[in-house]
Structure 1
């Protein structure tokens, strides 16, 4: 018998009960009390011994099976198949692109997982067909699949990829960065709500925005940015009575006093800073500037560029904690905020 004292399960611990069962069995293996070929108690027996629900114990045993630590023999029970307790979780990250922001998420995931998992990463480049190929090659080889479901068809129209994503086992699937439209509550993970986020963040800085006459969103066509950003921007301008304009770029556009720019691309950010200097306009006084997505550089660039951004570090930590089971696996909206600096 592994243990017969329910006191070994700590009800006030942040570690889920099923993972406590996993850790207790691994501890017995590490101490040599369980060896390859040894039978471990049945789900019902362990449920009784630990005063836990059958579902909790079954989840623990499935975790051990996925790690290759135990195996089940039909009609006979569960047996130790490996004493390699260092067997780590295997995680596959499937990003839409590799950018400075995705790197922040990646390193946050790696740091939070620590030695508990090995992580591989592939880029699907917004292409559902490429994602299908990647999944075909990797299905069954990983404990968890983390997908950034940003997809576009050949005409750059957004697509959900739902039919493909639902083929991944639900208990192994996590979404990251955006929800699957129409299925927002179906997949666990962490996401941005682009339209609502930009509306709420701009509204939080309304007192700063009111000194400008016109708001201009620079939204490059063909760069596969979430179209919900445009929806949130338009809605904000409508509700708060801002004259507004949406541009594809600002290469040939002069700056006018009283304009406030919200830019997505780094190239447009640089162009506005250069144009403001060439035209003798002061950022934060004559012309306003908000850049989408926070980076350390923007804090010091031109004495401070205001940003509107999700929290990429938090996003990575949350995904990792859902993998580890220290956070409930459920859809979570990531924090998003306006950071006011000199340029506003």
Structure 2
């Protein structure tokens, strides 16, 4: 079967190569969304994907990789939120800038998302240095999800912030992760008390700064 090559006229680049690289970048420890994000970031870092290069459309990527369209869209949204790619109405997605040099990669592992947790996340995100990456995962207080997520993020982040009230629940599953890389969130105050929520967020920021 003849392989279809998708060529960006602006850059004379075979996007088939990119999708083939993503296809080969499979790992049981990474979701399909993470495979797309991490491989595109890597290709930008090594200069293969230059500034201004047009990326495959969501439909092209989903069809070629046999991924759900929403999976590809979610991956592009992550890259958009990081400012690495940009969307041009009616034209598609393009590489916006080189990958920044990151001094910290922080992972939030939330039990769920509500107003209080959303406020804490936004406050920390806005007050971190620009060379810091902040990602979010959820464990929903399910042990299997918690274990699998920790295994997936191990080694990918410099700091893991865990939203879990009882530390001993996690201890058995944190083998191999140095204690200095884990910050346990204390019980969050009522979301209707924004001052206490802000105080909680400031405390987390202070702990993060002590790890740098």
Give TM-score, length-normalised by structure 1: 0.30
Name the structure with the higher helix share.
2
Give TM-score, length-normalised by structure 2: 0.45
